[in-house]
Chain A
């Protein structure tokens, strides 16, 4: 019962349109408050129909002058400000900042402190990628993934709250140590979390990985070539999605990452789908690292005990010893004492390489501190990446880049 239909030739029809209705470029402002710009990113588009011909990202809506603030306070006072850089993974920022300052002081923290930092940073990576995955899902129309991700993320936040006293603004690191040791039984609860998390993660990923709609929205969309990824200084999953196997945890191990076994997932095409796959696999690798730490959790000090002018001693010592009280007073009022010099340290954060360049003239306050934020560099490719795509594909591209404006604008 086949019927013959004749379809009009679209091109011929378009050519027949009178010339006075010729194409006109349209200007469209997306954001700063738009659900798919994940915060306060604004992009000024020039459109030819639905196709982007020019994209100019407008950033700075969340600029708070963190670098200026850093020049005006002691090193420990700045720890809470690092929470507010990538506020999806504050624990990883806390660690990166503390290590940068410790590099300046040439201070090594004990194994237990390093292990706790790596543990929390990897948990932060899982929570950040869950958030990124959930938001990406919503951007391309997959609600369920978001619900699953947020439930798992909530479990992580319960653990963070128990450890640091806060769900989001953790401020957990101190220069030369941590705010406090892990509570009783916490490590076992982390272990229990990893056990139940892996099957759920597989379930979540299975909702997307072979989903026809998701594949149509992401495969071959927003392709970043290897050369472009390097030229724009991308980092993190966005760089690895383009096939560059750069991971500072492997390449320049810090905080004892060299002891742990994990793989660095790398994409092949550099499209939105590859970036999604990298994040999914990275979560599994993070769980692998967490399990190794939990299995061999080091004993001993959780702060550098010999760094007398840098780390304030624990409260019970302050309350019993005059000398410790004076020491604590000096560190709190004048800041941890640093030598003259400059260092640059980058850590592999969930969003990419978070760097701190610190110029010290000595004393407890940095002379200049530059924060190299991965989201800033990752977004700088947008003017090139968006052009030629449909507006609806830009939504998928933004979701796949997984940026945080708090970090981009500082």
Chain B
């Protein structure tokens, strides 16, 4: 069984551009969008990480570049340990990442969810469509600029929308939930500070 240090050296020998990533628990690597599929394949085939336990992304906000980082967590059922691999999307407006559905069939739904929530396109995915939200939903909800209350949108069924004139509305925030923002003064944690556009006394305009 290789130790965590061995794994770090083995990966950096194989892939000189894959640098160790700061982590509080398991070994972690930063890779590039071009190389990450090869790194994951190497970890699966040569290092015995047979499970893709999780795949997700982080949005570092529109001001940051690179904006999106995709994260893979692999687990080895023999060595009982995890490894984390991260890769930045080069473009913030059209984030692209290679699909790993060829390595793990279970990546299918994970990548669909990641696309659904962040708008990251996984090239090579056989059927990349929304999974939790409905087809035709216009936003990517886990992006940082998407408000907690949500945004108004049309109903999934255009016919019902036209007939009833109803649509998806944003959640009323006045009075709760009690939310906080990291790094902001405590007064910003009060619910009324979150959504001034809409409360009991004035209609929401947007």
Binding site for B on A (CB under 8 A): 59-60, 63, 65, 67-69, 72-74, 77, 103-104, 106, 228, 230-235, 244, 246, 251-252, 333-335, 339, 341-346, 353, 355, 357, 359, 361-365, 367-368, 370, 372, 376-377, 379-381, 384, 409-410
Contact = CB atoms under 8 A, between A and B. Distances in A.
Contacts of B77: 230, 244, 246, 251
A65 B180 CA distance: 16
Contacts, number: 128
* 3 shortest interchain CB distances as A-B pairs: A60-B132, A233-B106, A251-B80
Interface of B: 22-26, 28, 50-54, 56, 58-59, 71, 73, 75, 77, 80-82, 84, 104-106, 108-109, 113, 117, 130-134, 141-142, 146, 148, 150, 177-183, 186, 189
B182 A372 contact: no
Contacts of A104: 24
Interface centre among A345, A367, A370 (most CB of B within 10 A): A370
B181 A72 contact: yes
B132 A409 contact: yes
A230 B182 contact: no
Give the one of B22, B23, B180 with max A CB within 10 A: B180
Contact of A230 (B51, B81, B177): B51
Contacts of B75: 346
Contacts of A103: 24-25
A62 to B, nearest CB: 9
B131 A59 contact: yes
Nearest to A409: B132
Given A357-B56, A357-B71, A233 B104 contact: yes
Contacts of B182: 361-365, 367
29 contacts: A60-B134, A65-B150, A103-B24, A103-B25, A104-B24, A230-B77, A231-B105, A233-B52, A234-B106, A235-B53, A246-B77, A341-B23, A341-B24, A342-B22, A342-B23, A342-B28, A343-B24, A344-B26, A344-B73, A344-B82, A355-B53, A357-B71, A361-B182, A362-B182, A363-B183, A367-B182, A368-B59, A377-B53, A384-B105
Nearest to B21: A342
A231 B105 CA distance: 5
Given A73-B177, A232-B105, A355 B54 contact: yes
Given A68-B141, A344-B26, A380-B109, A333 B189 contact: yes
Given A73-B180, A380-B108, A372 B54 contact: yes
Nearest to A367: B182
B131 A60 contact: yes
A289 to B, nearest CB: 20
Contacts of B189: 333
A370 to B, nearest CB: 4
Contact of B53 (A73, A353, A409): A353
B24 A106 contact: yes
B51 A233 contact: yes
Contacts of A74: 180
A313 B10 CA distance: 46
B180 A344 contact: no
